[in-house]
């Protein structure tokens, strides 16, 4: 059996991170701060404002996971 090196694991982890990140962005959409035009808002302290905050955080997690995954995959491919 072939032994996997560090950069092989970078490719594997990177592809997995991209997959997860894209799924999160498809479900949660882009964060409100990155959308054009009118964005939904709610009065401070309401349950709707709390929900919008967490949806934005969820979207940022998805974007971060995707970007990190692309970088890991590129590093793994470049150095393997």
- Structure confidence at residue 63 (pLDDT): 97
Radius of gyration of the chain (CA): 17
- Structure confidence at residue 26 (pLDDT): 96
| CB distance 41 to 33 below 8 Å | no
User: Is 29 strand, coil or helix?
Assistant: coil
- Structure confidence at residue 80 (pLDDT): 86
CA distance 25 to 29: 5
48 contacts: CB under 8 Å, gap ≥ 6:
42
pTM of the model as a whole: 0.86
Phi-psi region of 46 (alpha: psi -120 to 50; beta: other; left: phi over 0): beta
How do the pLDDT tens digits run along the chain, 80 residues long?
Answer: 789 999 999 999 999 999 999 999 999 999 999 988 888 899 999 999 999 999 999 999 999 999 999 999 999 999 98
| CB distance 11 to 65 below 8 Å | no
């Amino acid at each position: 059996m072939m032994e996997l090196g560090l950069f092989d694991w970078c490719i594997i982890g990177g592809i997995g991170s991209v997959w997860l990140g894209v799924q999160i962005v498809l479900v949660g959409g882009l964060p409100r701060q990155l959308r054009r035009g009118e964005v939904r808002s709610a009065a401070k302290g309401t349950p709707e404002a709390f929900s919008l905050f967490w949806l934005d955080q969820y979207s940022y997690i998805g974007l971060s996971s995707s970007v990190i995954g692309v970088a890991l995959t590129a590093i793994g491919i470049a150095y393997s």
